[in-house]
Amino acid sequence: MPQSQLIDGHPLLTGAVADSPLLAAYRGDVPSRRPVWFMRQAGRSLPEYRETRAGTDMLDACLTPELAAEITLQPVRRYGVDAAIFFSDIVVPLKLAGLEVSIQPGIGPVFARPIRTMADVEALPELDEDFIRALTPVAQAVALTTAQLGGTPLIGFAGAPFTLAAYMVEGKASRDHLGARRLMAEAPDVWAGLAAWVAEVSGWFLRTQVLAGASAVQLFDSWAGSLSTADYEKFCQAASARVFELVSDLPVPRVHFAANGAHLLAPMAATGATVMGVDYRLPLDEAVLEVGHLPLQGNINPAYLTAPWETLREHVDDVLMRGAHASGHVVNLGHGVPPDTDPDVLQRIVDHVHDAPVA
């Protein structure tokens, strides 16, 4: 789909984000300052979020455009970070596709009917024009958000096929994702069909966000770290590549991230990612050896957020130093913001990173 299909007023068309430090670093160019944002920056660590969300179901909040836009904007207003990350949930497109899913406190996503057989896969909803129309609230929320972001880019996001399919197989969150891994071994054709279906869902979720105003995308594979490299390459790589393929004709950087996935950086990069997110377990200068020329994102250890400032500052400086080895570097956490994080600590990190010399 050509660039002209971006909405009128899209920040990439108007030039609103032309001077974005984030996009410069994602391209491997020299940014005007060291860019920084935080995974899960819009959420439970912010008092304004808790006030805004009070009494509202998570998925209802995601599918109310005005509310989703407001929550997305809150950390940008508070911290002055270099990107907004779209407030939603990885199961939103599954719900819009027609699956019966809810998010239960203390449990996470729960599916009414787990997917474990070929008959289950064949009964999945058809992804037709009705599905595209069902994504309209997502597009509306993105447009409302970008209209207020000015020169700060919005990052669209989606869950990677393995993570979403693992939830669907188990019917809920799992500690070791054994059900999904068993399905790969016992019925690879069933797994392949499920992964292919999920890839289309996530890909169109991302595409909708970009067409409506997002200037970059990030694909989260929260549970891929439970896989061996061989199993990732055999059972998951192609599906994640399909997600990126569905936005590959659009002029946006494509970030890929997996928690506990240091051993998967090279095969994940081969899915079509143009930037690699790195979790806190692998130093960034070592990650460069795995992904070569690709810019990196990460990787402050969230555990350091409660340490004395001098300890945290030294850790952030180490991340900055190691990130300078990459062709481009966007500072982030090596996973998401913990719910009990003091917002003032994140503010100190943002200010410190912005004051750091440009690599």
What is the mean pLDDT, run by run of 10 residues, along the chain of 359 residues?
Answer: 70 97 98 97 94 95 97 98 97 97 89 96 97 98 98 98 96 88 97 98 98 98 95 98 98 97 97 98 97 96 98 98 98 96 98 94
Query: Among the options 34, 40, 116, 181, which is catalytic?
Result: 40
Q: How many whole angstroms separate alpha carbon 3 and alpha carbon 215?
A: 12
Both structure tokens of 107: 């449990």
Contact predicate 275/330, CB 8 Å: yes
Distances (CA, A) of 269 to 107, 207, 273, 280: 31, 19, 5, 18
Q: Which has the closest alpha carbon to 99: 129, 136, 138, 59?
A: 59
Query: Among the options 26, 49, 167, 232, which is catalytic?
Result: 167
| Sequence-ordered alpha helix ranges (H) in the chain | 11-14, 21-27, 47-53, 58-62, 65-79, 92-97, 118-122, 129-134, 136-149, 161-170, 178-186, 188-212, 229-235, 237-245, 265-269, 284-291, 309-323, 343-355
In sequence order, which residues have a C-beta less than 8 Å from that of residue 359 and are 6 or more positions away? 30, 34, 320, 323, 324, 329
User: Coil, strand or helix: which one is 349?
Assistant: helix
Instruction: Look at residue 105 in the predicted model and tell me its pLDDT.
Output: 84
Q: How many whole angstroms separate alpha carbon 73 and alpha carbon 148?
A: 8
φ, ψ dihedrals at 54, nearest 5°: -55, 125
Query: What is the CA angle 311-315-321, rounded to 5?
Result: 145
Both structure tokens of 37: 């944002």
Instruction: Look at residue 173 in the predicted model and tell me its pLDDT.
Output: 82
Judging by DSSP bridges, how do beta strands 101-104 and 84-85 pair with one another?
A: unpaired
Query: Among the options 44, 281, 313, 348, which is catalytic?
Result: 44
Instruction: Look at residue 4 in the predicted model and tell me its pLDDT.
Output: 46
Does residue 53 carry a catalytic annotation? yes
Q: Which has the closest alpha carbon to 155: 91, 72, 93?
A: 72
Return the bridge partners of 99, or none. none
Q: How many residues does the chain have?
A: 359
Q: How many whole angstroms separate alpha carbon 332 and alpha carbon 34?
A: 11
Query: Among the options 34, 53, 78, 242, which is catalytic?
Result: 53
Both structure tokens of 83: 């990107």
Query: For residue 299, is the peptide bond before it cis, meaning its omega torsion is within 30 degrees of 0?
Result: yes
DSSP codes joined into one string, 59-84: HHHHT-HHHHHHHHHHHHHHH--S-E
| Helices 161-170 + 188-212 axis angle, to 10 | 120
Instruction: Look at residue 3 in the predicted model and tell me its pLDDT.
Output: 39
Contact predicate 252/232, CB 8 Å: no
Instruction: Look at residue 275 in the predicted model and tell me its pLDDT.
Output: 98
What are the structural domains, with CATH classification, of the chain? 3-11+37-276 (3.20.20.210)
